[in-house]
Amino acid sequence: MVPKPTLSFAALDWDLGTQSYDLIVHVKDTGNTHTATVSVAVAVNPINEATPSFSSNPTLTPPENSPVPTDLVTYAADDSDASPHDVVLYEMVSGKGTLDTGS
């Protein structure tokens, strides 16, 4: 039995700009008399690999006895993954106060 060929790529990275490949595979028998060709479409799916990051890390110094509620800071975060993995969610995990996520 003749071994089956394997197609391989050096790197499939959606973020580098190549989201698909179109391949043509040609096969012929040992007598060079019969041939076949097949087209192969390879679609690379983006994965969730980037870590979200904040645009800044400010030190807050609100004045004592500020009215309640007082907005202290507005944060922005970014995730460089492709959609749908580029959505960020905010959560306050410690401290007193409330977090308005804009939703």
What residue spans define the domains of the chain?
A: 14-43
How far, in Å, CA of 73 to CA of 89, rounded? 17
- Residue 13 exposed, middle or buried by CB count within 10 Å (0-12, 13-18, 19+): middle
How far, in Å, CA of 78 to CA of 52, rounded? 5
* pTM of the entire predicted model: 0.51
How far, in Å, CA of 103 to CA of 100, rounded? 8
Choice between 4 and 102, residue whose per-residue pLDDT is larger: 4
20-78 pLDDT, tens digit per residue, is: 888 888 888 888 789 999 998 988 888 888 889 988 777 788 888 888 888 877 778 88
